[in-house]
Amino acid sequence: MKLILDYNIVEACRKDAEIIASQIQTMIDQHSTVAVERTILRMLGIDGVNEFDIPYVNVVVDHIKSTADIRKGVAYYLAKVIEKENLTPQAIAEAISKKTINLADYDSPEKPNIELLTPHLETTEAQIRAQKATRKQWQKETQFPEKYVIVATGNIYEDIEQAISAAKKGADIIAVIRTTGQSLLDYVPHGATTEGFGGTYATQENFRLMRKALDEVSKTENRYIKLVNYASGLCMPEIAAMGAIERLDMMLNDSLYGIIFRDINMKRTFVDQYFSRVISAYAEITINTGEDNYLTTSDAFDHAHTVIASQFINEQFAKKASMPETLMGLGHAYEIDPNLENSFSYEIAQAQLSRQLFPNAPLKYMPPTKHMTGDIFQGTMQNTLFNIASVITQQNIHLLGMLTEAIHTPFMSDRAIALNNANYMYKAFKDFAATIDIKEGSLIDQRAKTVLNEAKQLLDTIREEGLFKTLEKGTFAGVSRKETQGKGLDGVFKKANVYQNPVIDRMLASLKEGTS
């Protein structure tokens, strides 16, 4: 089953998206953020919290902001202290917390010897490489679509029980939904957590506990169960680093989602997403982008082209971070209005269009949510059509729809029913697409071409106006944001001439050489 597309238009879309991403990359290269600096500290091995439960990485960055010059970056100051005092990064952080070291005292005209940080970075890089090797040992040939389910109890230990249950029922991917509002915290909580609303805190210890549990169930099921969390919000690169260290397999990581749906400043988001994607590329973590969310606030028929345009843009931002296409889990969703005549045909056109435009990407397909009413029988029919669409358009990552969507957080029984439905449709429609030809001039053919042409027109406009202006106009999801507003702007700064980020430098060099 294939659409007959004009690939001159497709290439023109990619060229537009590359120009759009390059315009933003110029700004990214000139700036850093407090989250980027905290991530460098984590990669240097700094961990834990002080007696006030403040993460040491926050202690160091806040200290530099208040007493020294954050524009020089944390690597500048730590290298200076190591050269003079021969302390480990962790010891430096603890001394700053106790106020026995003032980094302002280490400001000087001489350039720091950044190579002094190398042994500490190598330790963390070795951990990440070991996790990648473990993943490769586990993974065998994958059946697509991969069945993706969520756990969201708020208690990591209860999440583990639910995750094990789902894996034994046939789930391939477990996503631990993050507690409401964590994306707006400018720090990462520490340790195992048992209280959360609508989800569970993303912490390194929670990552470790869930990974351990899924490894154990992987052994009993004789197949690798993947783990997902969220590298988004004000701590995007930090959480990506934690995920790399603890062997998460996928992370939600979008270049626009935080701006549009969480009112995080656009400069902050773009700078943070770049570093987080470099880390994910290095750690071979598949990212999931958030285009599906556009259709929860905009009509899926009228605004389908905004999803395609955003997918092209997300692809180019990922390429700027040296990420291979095989890790770009570009997102879309089955949010078509069930009352629309020919709704299934329109959705097939959209899903197949995404599949053909990004043939190497592990596309992530999201279930009906917007038009779920609480009628579990109607909801089951909508999810069945979604499952069929996923199979015949060869989606990769398939988030299961729940019959109780719009009623409550799914019970284990709801998840079991969803897995039964998906398993049935996967078998029933396994080779169905091979029997279908999409006729030129048919409804599906014309719809796909219309969406592609509209996406091209939108990308032309964004290229001319710039992405900042586009976001201000509310083009995506109908939500307007401004360049000088939004949460986290005070954590963005322009780099000084002596600024260095050895983590990005080392990771990009490894990716370029193919030695990561």
pLDDT in tens, 238-289: 999 999 999 999 999 999 999 999 999 999 999 999 999 999 999 999 999 9
Alpha-carbon gap, residue 260 to 297, rounded angstroms: 11
Residue 232 has pLDDT above 80, yes or no: yes
Q: Is residue 164 part of a domain?
A: yes
Q: What is the pLDDT of residues 365-415, one digit of tens each?
A: 999 999 999 999 999 999 999 999 999 999 999 999 999 998 987 888 999
163 shares a domain with 50: no
Residue 105 has pLDDT above 80, yes or no: yes
- Cβ-count burial 343-376 (b if 16+ within 10 Å, e if not): bbebbbbbbbbbbbbbeebbbbbbbbbbbbeeeb
Question: Which residues make Cβ contacts (< 8 Å) with residue 87, sequence separation at least 6?
Answer: 81, 95
Residue 506: CB atoms within 10 A of its CB come to 19
306 shares a domain with 194: yes
User: Percent of the chain beyond pLDDT 90?
Assistant: 94
Q: How confident is the model at residue 106 (pLDDT cuts 50, 70, 90)?
A: very high
Q: CB–CB of 271/36 below 8 Å?
A: yes
Task: Report the pLDDT value the prediction gives residue 514, as an integer from 0 to 100.
Answer: 83
Q: Fill in the DSSP letter of residue 264.
A: B
Residue identified by tokens 């059946």 is: 143
Q: Which residue out of 72, 147, 364, 449 is catalytically annotated?
A: 364
Task: Report the pLDDT value the prediction gives residue 312, as an integer from 0 to 100.
Answer: 98
User: Which of 446, 476, 507 delimits the end of a domain?
Assistant: 446
- Return the SS3 of 16: helix
Residue identified by tokens 């806040």 is: 62
Q: Is residue 455 part of a domain?
A: no
Alpha-carbon gap, residue 212 to 246, rounded angstroms: 9
112 shares a domain with 190: no
Q: Is residue 370 part of a domain?
A: yes
Residue 141 has pLDDT above 80, yes or no: no
Q: Is residue 23 part of a domain?
A: no
Q: Is residue 512 part of a domain?
A: no
Residue 315 has pLDDT above 80, yes or no: yes
Q: CB–CB of 76/499 below 8 Å?
A: yes
Residue type, 2: K
Q: What is the pLDDT of residues 472-498, one digit of tens each?
A: 999 998 999 999 999 999 999 999 999
Task: Report the pLDDT value the prediction gives residue 361, as an integer from 0 to 100.
Answer: 98
Q: CB–CB of 459/237 below 8 Å?
A: no
180 shares a domain with 317: yes
Largest CA distance in the chain: 75
Domain range enclosing 40: 34-122
- Cβ-count burial 289-324 (b if 16+ within 10 Å, e if not): bbbbbbbeebebbebbbbbbbbbbbbbbbbbbbbbe
Task: Report the pLDDT value the prediction gives residue 203, as an integer from 0 to 100.
Answer: 98
Token readout for 188 is 């990462």
Taking Cα atoms as reference points, which of 288, 362, 355 lies closest to residue 139? 362
Taking Cα atoms as reference points, which of 510, 459, 128, 467 lies closest to residue 269? 467
CATH number at residue 311: 3.20.20.440
Residue type, 235: C
154 shares a domain with 87: no
Q: Which helix (H) or strand (E) holds 297?
A: helix 294-297
Q: CB–CB of 199/155 below 8 Å?
A: no
Extract the runs of DSSP E, i.e. beta strands, from 235-347. 250-252, 286-288, 328-329, 331-333
| Cα dihedral sign, 163-167-169-172 | positive
| Cα dihedral sign, 64-65-69-72 | positive
Q: How confident is the model at residue 143 (pLDDT cuts 50, 70, 90)?
A: confident
193 shares a domain with 55: no
Taking Cα atoms as reference points, which of 246, 229, 228 lies closest to residue 124? 246
Token readout for 505 is 């430098």
Taking Cα atoms as reference points, which of 370, 366, 183 lies closest to residue 262? 183
CA torsion angle for 247, 252, 258, 260 (degrees, to 10)? Answer: 170
Token readout for 260 is 């549009």
Alpha-carbon gap, residue 372 to 408, rounded angstroms: 12
Token readout for 262 is 């969480």
Alpha-carbon gap, residue 269 to 281, rounded angstroms: 18
Total of domains in the chain = 2
User: Percent of the chain beyond pLDDT 70?
Assistant: 100
286 shares a domain with 235: yes
- Return the SS3 of 333: strand
* φ and ψ at residue 405, rounded to 5 degrees: -55, 140
User: Which of 63, 93, 122 delimits the end of a domain?
Assistant: 122
Task: Report the pLDDT value the prediction gives residue 244, as an integer from 0 to 100.
Answer: 98
Q: Is residue 340 part of a domain?
A: yes
Taking Cα atoms as reference points, which of 6, 73, 88 lies closest to residue 40? 73
331 shares a domain with 205: yes
- Please state the rounded mean pLDDT for residues 294-298: 90
Residue 115: CB atoms within 10 A of its CB come to 9
343 shares a domain with 259: yes
Alpha-carbon gap, residue 352 to 57, rounded angstroms: 45
Alpha-carbon gap, residue 59 to 48, rounded angstroms: 11
Q: Which residue out of 56, 257, 274, 499 is catalytically annotated?
A: 257
Task: Report the pLDDT value the prediction gives residue 88, as an integer from 0 to 100.
Answer: 97
Based on the residue annotation, tell me whether 257 is a catalytic residue of this protein.
Answer: yes
Q: Which residues pair with 230 in a beta bridge?
A: 252
Alpha-carbon gap, residue 454 to 248, rounded angstroms: 36
Alpha-carbon gap, residue 263 to 488, rounded angstroms: 9
Q: Is residue 373 part of a domain?
A: yes
203 shares a domain with 60: no
User: Which of 122, 149, 182 delimits the end of a domain?
Assistant: 122
Question: Which residues make Cβ contacts (< 8 Å) with residue 29, sequence separation at least 6?
Answer: none
Extract the runs of DSSP E, i.e. beta strands, from 222-342. 226-230, 250-252, 286-288, 328-329, 331-333
Q: What is the pLDDT of residues 191-227, one digit of tens each?
A: 999 999 999 999 999 999 999 999 999 999 999 999 9
Q: Is residue 347 part of a domain?
A: yes
Token readout for 427 is 């078998």
Q: What is the pLDDT of residues 324-342, one digit of tens each?
A: 999 999 999 999 999 999 9
Task: Report the pLDDT value the prediction gives residue 411, as an integer from 0 to 100.
Answer: 87
Q: CB–CB of 251/480 below 8 Å?
A: no
Based on the residue annotation, tell me whether 292 is a catalytic residue of this protein.
Answer: yes
Task: Report the pLDDT value the prediction gives residue 5, as an integer from 0 to 100.
Answer: 97
Task: Report the pLDDT value the prediction gives residue 253, as an integer from 0 to 100.
Answer: 94
Angle (CA) 43 48 49, round 5°: 130
Q: How confident is the model at residue 515 (pLDDT cuts 50, 70, 90)?
A: confident
Residue 52 has pLDDT above 90, yes or no: yes
372 shares a domain with 255: yes
238 shares a domain with 366: yes
